[in-house]
Structure 1
């Protein structure tokens, strides 16, 4: 029987423990890093390089020829000078055929901290059903660790909701193979109680309110879409690439 654990923030990630056994990790930063990564790959980015900070982004860019990459990032929700802001709508027309090097306060840090797992997937409401299907294809005997990136060490409502949506997809047609921790069960129940209200949940969250204040309401609506992008972003080495999922 496989066991599903849920971490509420990136600060809970124990990098040494993640390396132990055959853990499958799914990272969510719904507003906005994992939504942006999923969207960028869907829009033709060749790969996404998640980095810890802007200095590491500049170092990573040295591996590419001029014009073959895009530097994108934010720090504590503020744009980084010289970088494209990491939002789906801004990057949509810029990423085709290019590598996206991206630095965010929470999501890319969580992905990097989880990189020691047997497999590390990047997920969002956009592609949760397809990531869940891929995880089920791999077998459900292994430990599955769902990670909410959170916001500066605190729970993010949108990530908690997104984790619940992922778990709902994962448990569809489950025959009792999976055992959820209390935290995972809480996320699942929260999602089920608000299954049709993604946009309003996001809008009411701390980050969502910042987005609305800064006229990013369209990004909330985009991130609230469920199951619209049939790709499975997986971390291979230091790069995220897209695996196209089977149709559900």
Structure 2
């Protein structure tokens, strides 16, 4: 039986262990990196390139012509000079047909640290049902690692909730063997009725509310609104058409 293991923050990722065995990673940064990635691809982005920091992001831009990309990023939730803030609603207006170069404190770092897994999925409340649909074909000798990016070394409420949502979606498809951490996330998710209120009550959610970013919170709290399944391959996130699943 396929096992589901949960990591609570990016600092728990061991890159050498990620490369060993048959590991499938699903990275979550609900507020906001993976939500922004999924949203951008849904809105027509060509691809997303997650980077470790702003210096790397600026280096990546040199490979593109002006007008071919959107450079977005934050550091410790603060805007970076010359970067678009990585807001799903803000990026949606300018991303169609372009590459999103994205630098964030937690989510893009978690993605890069997970890159040695056999396959790396990008999850969010927006597309967790679609990701779960793709994962149902996972062989029993594989381990699914659900990775909460967390918040600068701390557990984040919104990622824990998002992990529970994904596990709930997976459990509706087939039976899995859950670790205690995975069970805890599942029970927490099932005890909550309002995804928006959970996100709003988180540390990052309160920061977004303080800066009047309610539209981004509403986007991030939207469950199952897209069937795209983004995958990280050789440093680039694209939608794998053969893995996309229709959500009824």
1:102 is matched with which residue?
Answer: 102
Structure 1 residue 140: Cα displacement: 4.4
Matched, 1:65 2:65: yes
Show the counterpart of 1:243.
240
Cα deviation, residue 123, structure 1: 0.6
Residues 131 and 173 from structure 1, CA distance in 2 versus in 1: closer, same or farther, beyond 3 angstroms?
A: closer
> SS of the counterpart of 1:168?
helix
Match of 1:217 among 214, 217, 220: 214
Report runs of 4+ in structure 1 exceeding 4 Å deviation.
Answer: none
TM-score calculated relative to the size of structure 2: 0.97
Show the counterpart of 1:4: 4
Counterpart residue number, 1:172: 172
Unaligned runs of 5+ in 2: none
Shift of 1:137: 2.6
Deviation, structure 1 residue 197: 1.1
* 2:227 and 2:246 in contact (8 A); partners too: yes
Match of 2:113 in 1: 113
> Cα deviations across residues 106-126 of structure 1 (Å, max 9, x unaligned)?
000000000000000001000
What is the distance in 1 between the residues matched to 2:186 and 2:21? 25
Q: Deviations over 1:60-93 (max 9, x none)?
A: 1122122111110000001100000101110001
- State how 1:1-248 maps to structure 2 within 5 Å: 1-174=1-174, 176=175, 178-194=176-192, 196-244=193-241, 245-248=244-247
Quote the RMSD (CA, aligned, Å).
1.0
Any unmatched runs of 5+ in structure 1?
none
Q: In structure 1, what is the Cα distance between the partners aligned to 2:2 and 2:140?
A: 5
CA distance in 1, matches of 2:219, 2:233: 27
Q: How far apart are residue 100 of structure 1 and its match?
A: 0.4
TM-score with structure 1 setting the length: 0.97
How big is the shift at 1:203? 0.7
Aligned length, in residue pairs: 245
